[in-house]
Chain A
Amino acid sequence: MGQSVVHQKYKLSVVSGGKLVLPRASNRSCCNKSVTLLTRDETCVVVPFNNQIKVYSLETSQCVKTLKFANNAVLSRLFLGADAASICDLALGDLTLAEGGTADGAHSDDTFDFSVITSVGDVVVLNYKGKLADEPKVIQLGTLQPNEQVVKLFRFGGRVSVLTSEAETSATYTYRIYSYDNSERKLSERKRFEHVLLSAWSSNDKFLCLLAKGQNSKKVLYLEDIHDQIDSKTLPLPSIASASASSNAHFATVMALDHQGSQLAVGYASGVINVINLTDQSTRLLKWHIDSVLSLCFTSDGTYLLSGGWEKVLSFWQLSTNLQQFLPRLNGVVVDCNILHDKFYSLGLQFADNQSNSDYQLLLLNSTDLKSRIAISGPLCVFQTAVRDVVYPVSAVSSKASASSADLQKANKKQQRKLLKRRRQDFSSVFEIQPSTKHLYFPHTSAVQIFDFYKNEQIHYQYLASGLNNSMGKVRSELNLKDPVIADVKFTKDGNWMISYEVEYPPEGLLSSNDFSHVLKFWRMSASGEWELQTKVLSPHGLKTPITSILVAPRSVNNSLGCLTSDNNGGLKYWSFDEVLNNWALSKVAVPSVNHFSNSVELAWSLDGSLIFHAFDDKVTVIEFAAFKKFYEDSAKALNEFTMDSAIQSIMLVNDSNLIVATQTSLNSINLLLGVVESSFDLYPFVNGVYKNGHASRLISCDEKNGRVALVVNHKTLDAEGRPTLNYASHVLVFNSDLSQKLGAFEHDEYISCIRWNFDTDFIFLDTKNRLGVVSTTTSPEMLDEVDKEGALDQLASNEFEIELQKLTRAQKAQGLEPETDEKEEALLDFINGDKSGKLINMNSFTSMFENIENVQMDTLFDRVMKVIT
């Protein structure tokens, strides 16, 4: 431990994660929310994320290419940063080319170009196959109003029109249609619509329909042929309900227009769909939805209407017969549906139970069998409080997970002002890393999402608690029912067991509404790769008592098949797996205090299993595990208690000798062998009052192998005048085991909500944009000469000795038989290490290579390897 000649450096990179975006979801007036692009050969689909564009193969349902914004200077300028633009539309082909007289057909099929249209009117040309140019083509379509955003770009017969919108109030928008002159690169405004409530266009880019508030608050429909300015119609929206009916019956939530511009479907918050024949203005009502209709779409021949809503069911209406077919049990609320080239249905699903974030999943279904499907989503995270720009789908009733017609009128600005003033800025989240597979587990309402960081794909989504939302959607007042929430998951050190803690909520409005029930569940990994429930413990710490912390036993205790749970009253329980009963059982109990409640509870366990450190409020109590009692209880002189300056947020035992204690005011390192505080840092400006008690521990992690500590500090960024803004930045600090040395300090441009050690050499973090980053070490060659000193604490060290010894014996025996033939090997090593010794290569150098490895050609792989090495 003394002298350390360690040549390890950390670096931070944001490499994975990302949120699937439905670009127009934040614009309530747009009925087509998602943007997906089917490639020309119909084998792949291009899907935009908030940090990258992904290309999925429809045949193998796997991602074949990712275009990361951060890897390209042009893209990162356009799409990253606090106030950067977002993707709003994708189009095949190169829009910047002067198309002149030659129409669509002129495009040769062998170009893989596609154009990305941004919300501020830039067009970037990218390609979905082959290598991405370092400097993609970017053009500006034209100048827009300050608040104006591009909604959609229409192309028909070589003519390009651009639809933009500008928010008037939170419910009404001004839409403008521009025609784009490619030779002059200019937009000329052609038409303008004010007070637009809804907009829809036919999927062949030909017709546009706008629902607007006309005079006397009468709703008016504008029907436009986008490219032909003459053919436009204005007609009043046929009323379907009497004036006395509730507002939901009048509140149109979604519209769809068919290819011929002859049929218009309007969905209402009450669940009714009105299909209007635009030629004779006859109407008919389709009633099946119980809550708001959220998405509508006609098939290209106009014979079927697809509709979706809160029920998590996609409904097919045969318009000639009014017969219905259903595709039930979808993962989320159907907020968008689209038909891609008549072959695929693309559904935008929202996990509406997560109120802190808009979690979308894109589901692509083959229209012939509806079975072959691709589900696309990023990591699904639940934050402590709702992050910015969360969009709740509209429902007939107002609830925490939905907006109602009345909510839309509320000003957004007030909310923002409140956010600015509030001291508490707790957007923390929780995820755990499974030690053996290194998968990330995101507790997501009643389920966990299992996510592969290196492939950047969801592996599995498994419900851990039985709730209403597992199989069907909640509608209307059901939305106020809260499903059980997975609050925490942990894994035993061997990764074979998962421990989940869930909270069940009684219905609201009752005397018992605050009597949450708590469940502890122990899951075993089954052969089929699913977690199987082995033991379920109801109210593990007694009725209504929450579990504040779960700590899995170190390997030295019952081979890590044990865990500690603590409550908010100072109680502590030890659960262990009993091989004979084949069940988890309560083994040891320490009684709670009488009257002291706190959520600042943290646990730490020495590697050898002998001592437990129980932090409760501002005290760390040392507990002897064998006796499950305070260490030297009777002796006042013994080192069995530490009182800190304020409520403890996190404790970690590093290298079995230092206890890192983070309180609301300071970060301290206590040397347990001497019993003194060795170094302390001021956490007060960053932690006190910012996080809910106990949540700061989500932002501290410790590398158990070498005792390094990573700490995240979030803060608001200031604008030019020094006033706080709603944007956040963060710092990640890496310390050595006793905090005496700062090994790295990094900045990140977004609020980091959780950081965890990946059971290797790196720390993985999650930010509020669902992006995943890594703070990793790069190991330099000198490092290898010396054995890791701090590894001396590794309990397995003695086995290593035996292994080494056997190796030596074998080597000696082999030597007699075989002459030295490893010249070749050396030559190879020389080649790799050779003159490139200045460049550091470690495990993470190749991380990006292994995403989507399945569909990569050999030469591409080789190319990637060479790129990293050279």
Chain B
Amino acid sequence: MPSISQPFRLTALPKIASLNNYATQGNYLQVADTLTPTTNNINVGVSGSAVSQYIINPTPKLVYNQPISSTNVVSACAVAEITTTSEKDSQEVICYGIQSNRVYSLCATIKPVSSTASDSSFGETYAAHKVSVSDQIVNLKVFPDTKSIVAVLRSGLIQFFDFELKLQHSLDSSYKNVSYVQHFTSESGQRYTFLLSDIDGHKVSFKLFEIGQSDSATPATELSSVILENMCLKDSQIFYQFGQVYRLHGNAVSIYNLPHFQHSRTIELPFLAPESIISFKPISTNRALLTSDNKIFLLDLLHNAILSQREMGHVKIFQLLETAVIPGNSTLNNKTIALGVSIKHGSNPSSSLDIINIDVGTGTLRDSMGKGFMSRENKSQHLQPLISTLNDTEAAEFNYDRILKELSKAADNIENFDSVFFKRLGIKNNYYTDSDRFVNDREFLEDVSTLIFKSFKSEYPKALTYLLTNPLFPVSHTHNLLQKLKDHPRLFKQAIVTCPNLLLDELVQELFTVINDELCLDLSLRILQDFNKDSIKEAIKQKSKIDVNNFINFVISENFEEDRIKNKPRLFQLLSLVLDSVGLFALENEMLEKLTKYIDQQLSVVKENVELYNLVEEKNFKNGFGQPLGDTSTSGEPVITAYSIEQLEL
């Protein structure tokens, strides 16, 4: 089942104003996009402080720290392990883009991998390089196999560096103001990247590039370029996952299909509070994480459902920074983590990086059942005629709200209540018939039931009798219903016989407490009708203290009522289920003896019957009636005796 667990702290952030301001902290904290569900290392570039590496297990700990100047803002950060053959220790390269006033630079540090907490490579570096670039670096990506660093600048330049930060290639994507860059790999392993940049007049440019994978290939080839009208990136939260781009703007999510960036659908999120601080991140196929102030939601955007949500009471605002995206299509791969930043309550806000464990579920309907967030369009609840042109159509529409109001007014008087109920709804009998099918609003029926149980205590109106026969009797009122009606034998029986959705637990409870034979029979039949053997046994077992003697006495008592005799086989079925579940040894000696005696008696009756049957059959056979007793066909067809041959007549 999808779930979001309580976040735990990775580290507290330094008390720098910009880092504790919810509006900017997202941009001032750059997390390398290497997060996977099993990762132990997290790399964060904290503006004005340091580029740090943490491990999560066994306990969150800082394992590497490279301080940076307090005026420096980290605009992008990327990390990758380098495959080297010469040295024993594996190395990794950390690169980050820095902005210091109007000076932009790219830094790269090669250092040993520190995977465990005991690693003491703290601060040890093999090489550090720095190069200045022409504009702010929006995105960084390291490709260890081609030994290249790809930096995308706000000006639209895509620049390829080697690990010594020598510029290898530069490509102009021709649109300035790049604000979103995403690298992804296709199933065949081919690398792609796409850029989104704002253009004047509420337009956005989308450009898809293929990234060359060998030194000889062209480093980047433009595959497609789309201009999208009426779109603005500034007020949108965008992410990419599994071939789709999700864009949150206002309280709507638009989904676009790559590679052509076609709009596929837009989903309204009615539960989002206006003016709240929102972050929106990918997590799994068709699923996304969304935070709104201190609430975090796991959304299924295929089914439009809130799979899970959590409110973090101890913080004021929680924002997501990076998530580990997983396919999440089976129970084996549905656990993942997300990294976020939280701001505590208080006048002097303090922030910290937090990690949340998330179970994304399997993305199936099973997870989303009944959790939909789409507000219901105000559809008519009336039973509409199928074909309006046919002249014999009947239809009835009720103003349920008004009827309910009238009913609540009349709720102090049983007669008034009944007259309003039956007259207003056009119900002719005090039981459900097919002509009452137009009263089909489940909410209304629920409201009426609530009203009845609230207003009437000692005596109930006839409307309740009617409702108990209605197949749409609200499920919510079936709980404890039998207990409530215990003092009204008629209603009690009515409920047992016709009320849908009675709980097995309650029925079993009543079965063992009711002394009335008639009710006992009804209860038995009802239980056998609605439930299967396994669940009946289970329910009886769960009843800790029950007296089955009463029931056994009822079954084995001599009674020649027609109903009883007709239903005897069924009662025996239930008896055997009861005995199975309580166990024979739970019975007292006396009862056991009684039971044995009864069974013996029944057996002798059966024996006798078999003998009689044989006699009769023999008699019939002698008389030449070949027809078996069971055959009562009176069709007058000539019966062909077995194995006779009809002669061919001439």
Complex-state Cα separation, A513 to B244, whole angstroms? 62
A834 at the B interface (CB under 8 A): no
B371 to chain A: closest residue by CB: A673
A310 nearest CB across to chain B (Å): 13
B650 to chain A: closest residue by CB: A241
List residues 53-98 of chain B with CB under 8 A from any CB of chain A. none
Enumerate chain B residues within 8 angstroms of A665, measured Cβ to Cβ.
434, 437
Assess whether B302 is in contact with A272, with CB atoms less than 8 Å apart. no
Q: A510-B628, A713-B387 are in contact. Are A240 and B302 (CB under 8 A)?
A: no
Enumerate chain A residues within 8 angstroms of B472, measured Cβ to Cβ.
643, 645
B374 at the A interface (CB under 8 A): yes
B39 at the A interface (CB under 8 A): no
B471 at the A interface (CB under 8 A): yes
B250 at the A interface (CB under 8 A): no
Which one of A165-173, A482-490, A634-642 contacts B? A634-642
Which one of A51-59, A462-470, A678-686 contacts B? A678-686
B570 at the A interface (CB under 8 A): yes
Assess whether B379 is in contact with A678, with CB atoms less than 8 Å apart. yes
Complex-state Cα separation, A645 to B471, whole angstroms? 5
Digitize A762-794: 1 where CB-to-B-CB distance is under 8 Å, 0 elsewhere: 000000000000000000000000110100110
Q: A593-B531, A673-B305 are in contact. Are A606 and B366 (CB under 8 A)?
A: yes
Digitize A681-704: 1 where CB-to-B-CB distance is under 8 Å, 0 elsewhere: 111111010000000000000000
Enumerate chain B residues within 8 angstroms of A809, measured Cβ to Cβ.
190, 210, 223
Assess whether A801 is in contact with B258, with CB atoms less than 8 Å apart. yes
- A594, A610, A680 — most chain B CB neighbours (10 Å): A594
Which one of B263-271, B452-460, B510-518 contacts A? B263-271
Complex-state Cα separation, A619 to B473, whole angstroms? 13
Enumerate chain A residues within 8 angstroms of B373, measured Cβ to Cβ.
673
Assess whether B650 is in contact with A285, with CB atoms less than 8 Å apart. yes
Assess whether A679 is in contact with B385, with CB atoms less than 8 Å apart. no
A595 at the B interface (CB under 8 A): yes
Complex-state Cα separation, A675 to B474, whole angstroms? 13
Q: A596-B529, A643-B471 are in contact. Are A671 and B372 (CB under 8 A)?
A: yes
B253 nearest CB across to chain A (Å): 11
B615 at the A interface (CB under 8 A): no
A424 nearest CB across to chain B (Å): 16
A812 to chain B: closest residue by CB: B223
Assess whether B376 is in contact with A671, with CB atoms less than 8 Å apart. yes
A639 nearest CB across to chain B (Å): 3
Which one of A244-252, A254-262, A371-379, A538-546 contacts B? A244-252
A712 nearest CB across to chain B (Å): 11
Q: A1-B304, A666-B440, A685-B393 are in contact. Are A812 and B221 (CB under 8 A)?
A: yes
Assess whether B471 is in contact with A646, with CB atoms less than 8 Å apart. yes
B442 at the A interface (CB under 8 A): yes
B534 at the A interface (CB under 8 A): yes
Digitize B83-115: 1 where CB-to-A-CB distance is under 8 Å, 0 elsewhere: 000000000000000000000000000000000
Enumerate chain A residues within 8 angstroms of B285, measured Cβ to Cβ.
798
B91 nearest CB across to chain A (Å): 33
Assess whether A639 is in contact with B437, with CB atoms less than 8 Å apart. no
Enumerate chain B residues within 8 angstroms of A804, measured Cβ to Cβ.
258-260
B648 at the A interface (CB under 8 A): yes
Assess whether B501 is in contact with A641, with CB atoms less than 8 Å apart. yes
B641 nearest CB across to chain A (Å): 10
B372 nearest CB across to chain A (Å): 3
Assess whether A673 is in contact with B531, with CB atoms less than 8 Å apart. no
Complex-state Cα separation, A675 to B208, whole angstroms? 41
Complex-state Cα separation, A241 to B649, whole angstroms? 8
B188 at the A interface (CB under 8 A): yes
Assess whether A249 is in contact with B649, with CB atoms less than 8 Å apart. yes
List residues 222-265 of chain B with CB under 8 A from any CB of chain A. 222-224, 242-244, 255, 257-260, 262-265
Which one of B357-365, B423-431, B489-497 contacts A? B357-365
A458 nearest CB across to chain B (Å): 35
Other-chain contact of A610, B244, B362, B440, B570 (Cβ < 8 Å): B362
Enumerate chain A residues within 8 angstroms of B438, measured Cβ to Cβ.
682
Complex-state Cα separation, A679 to B639, whole angstroms? 56
Assess whether A593 is in contact with B370, with CB atoms less than 8 Å apart. no
Enumerate chain A residues within 8 angstroms of B376, measured Cβ to Cβ.
671, 674, 676, 678
A163 at the B interface (CB under 8 A): no
Enumerate chain B residues within 8 angstroms of A287, measured Cβ to Cβ.
648, 650
Enumerate chain B residues within 8 angstroms of A740, measured Cβ to Cβ.
377, 379
Complex-state Cα separation, A713 to B630, whole angstroms? 41
A614 nearest CB across to chain B (Å): 12
B380 at the A interface (CB under 8 A): yes
Assess whether B370 is in contact with A672, with CB atoms less than 8 Å apart. yes
Enumerate chain B residues within 8 angstroms of A801, measured Cβ to Cβ.
242-244, 257-259
B256 nearest CB across to chain A (Å): 10
A854 at the B interface (CB under 8 A): no
Assess whether A686 is in contact with B386, with CB atoms less than 8 Å apart. yes
Q: Which 4 A-B pairs have the closest CB atoms?
A: A673-B372, A801-B243, A610-B364, A639-B370
| 20 A–B contacts from the bound complex (CB under 8 Å) | A249-B649, A593-B528, A608-B364, A624-B366, A636-B479, A643-B501, A644-B471, A673-B304, A673-B368, A673-B370, A673-B373, A674-B372, A677-B442, A685-B394, A711-B386, A787-B257, A801-B243, A804-B258, A809-B223, A812-B223
